[in-house]
Amino acid sequence: MILPYIFTALITAVALILQGTNIIAIAGKKPDLVFIIVVYIGYSFGSFNGQLVGFIGGLFHDSISRSPLGLLTLPKVVLGFMAGMFGRGVVKNTVVTIMLLLFVASVLKGILTLFLAYIFHQALLVSIIQVILPEALYNAVIAPPLFFIFDRIYHGELERGGFL
Give pTM, 2 decimals.
0.90
Q: What is the pLDDT of residues 1-59, one digit of tens each?
A: 677 778 888 888 888 888 777 777 787 788 889 999 999 999 999 899 999 999 999 99
Cα 29 to Cα 141: distance, rounded to the nearest angstrom: 13
Domains parsed from the chain with CATH numbers = 3-155 (1.10.1760.20)
- Is residue 79 within 8 A of residue 35, CB to CB? The reply is yes
Q: What is the pLDDT of residues 68-105, one digit of tens each?
A: 888 889 999 999 999 999 887 777 788 999 999 999 99
- Is residue 55 within 8 A of residue 76, CB to CB? The reply is yes
How crowded is residue 50: how many other Cβ atoms within 10 Å of its Cβ?
29
